[in-house]
Structure 1
Amino acid sequence: MEQDEIYLIDMWRIFVREWRWFVAVLLVVLAATFAYAHMARPKWEATASIQVGQVGSALQGTDPKVESFQRVIQRLQTLDFQNDVMKSAGFSVKSPEAQLYRKSFKLEPEPYANLIKVSVRALSPEQARQFATATLTQLQAIHQGLEALPLKLAKERLDEIQTELQSAIADRDRLLHAAGQGGKDETTPAVAAILLSGKNEDIHTLQIARSELINRLSPNYTFETSLAWPIRVSDWPVSPNLVLTWGIGVFFGLFMGALAAIGRNVARR
């Protein structure tokens, strides 16, 4: 314990004796920190929560999403996709803006909520919002191409069911008329009644199929890839982080100042 106290006292004496070196190095580090904090270009971050689109008319037991969740994540992370986003936004893939976009690109998937949170950074709030919007637009364009055929087939099937239903209703009306006529042939009303029963079953089946398909094509089950809520842009620059920068600067300055004082004391000896 006494040795530790003597050691601390010796260290204190070194700092007192070499305080000029300690303060000089500390000021140099703080000056460098000040220069970095004021010369580094501020960067803003935009966050978009993207909901992956789906087509509700998909077969039961299959994934209704336009593109599987995992594949969407892999697509977003590819260099080709990110470069296409930059081109669509009017930037060269080698520009500083594009490099910052790719470097800062971050994903936070939430598969159970069918959401992918995309975060990107830019040199201004407007540009950050532009990059997030361009990311969504590029993904939407791809998914619109993928969902075009399933939607077309579903709508064609709905038209077919509607046509069959109208035809079945017309047949039922004729049978109702025949069943009510009677006539010379006494079996005609009975036969018409039997046919009418079968036709009513057909109509009921077609009505269920039509209602189910209309429901599956409703916005609850069929929707495009879109934003779950508006894009959020940081109120303040996220980089450089002044609190963190100054904290590291002060700590590093104290460490280097102490090292300089000890080194100077050794040199004197």
Structure 2
Amino acid sequence: MKQIPMLGVGTARLEGKQVVQSVRIAFELGFRHIDTAQIYGNEADVGKAVAGSGLERREIFLTTKVWLENLGRARFLPSVRESLQKLRTEYVDLLLIHWPAGEDGTPMVEYLEQLSAAKQAGLARAIGVSNFTNAQLDQAVAQLGAGQIATNQVEVHPYLQNDVVVDHCQSLGIPVTGYMPLAKGKVVEDKVLGQIAQKHRASIAEVVIAWSLARGIITIPSSTKRAHLQSNLAAASLRLTSDDVQQIKALERGEHLINPSYAPAWDL
């Protein structure tokens, strides 16, 4: 399996020309990791940007996620093939279960079986999960086997540091991918983060992304602006002090910004 690049570009909530522009600029700046999902409704636009990038497919790390309504045996693989058609590719580098199905949904054993089948069929080079609790992750590992789950993608930002999940994943050797790292933009108004950023002559976004990367978390901020994408990329070279890290740690408040009705009972 190709290693997941530690810094990528998220595309949630971006559509049409917006997402095409974001991905194209990201490629121009040097990003190679692009994250999308069936439910985002933008796979075709991401595919357009990938096709027009001039990059060879092997240079790009592409992730998509299977939505809840497609988790059943009848719809799983056809939905993945439809995603590949939209993305203009024969495979994705990483295929994730977007959300675990609830008690009334498709049984986990069934959709994990289909996830594995997608990999076996060559539709995905690696497989993983998203928004799984520790207990659900343990169940997935028990079924798929050690070393099969490439990541658990969960919400991580200074106001939801998710230590319990991050620690558990890392203890199993499963990398965490953190989405929503800038807390829907809330971090840019944070005074503590502002002071740290000023000290390092960096943006607040750079500080937060650098903090996330320093925790060993694969991080996928999103932006449509060249300056912001460039700043996000620069975060990889920013080194925070232990004092900076302690100040950020104190911002934890268990704030889930993504918490739909179908979300599992989160680990605290």
Higher relative contact order, structure no. (Cα contacts within 8 Å, ≥ 6 residues apart): 1
> TM above 0.5, one fold?
no
Q: TM-score, normalised by structure 1?
A: 0.17
Q: TM-score, normalised by structure 2?
A: 0.17
| Structure label with greater radius of gyration | 1
Q: Which has the higher helix share?
A: 1
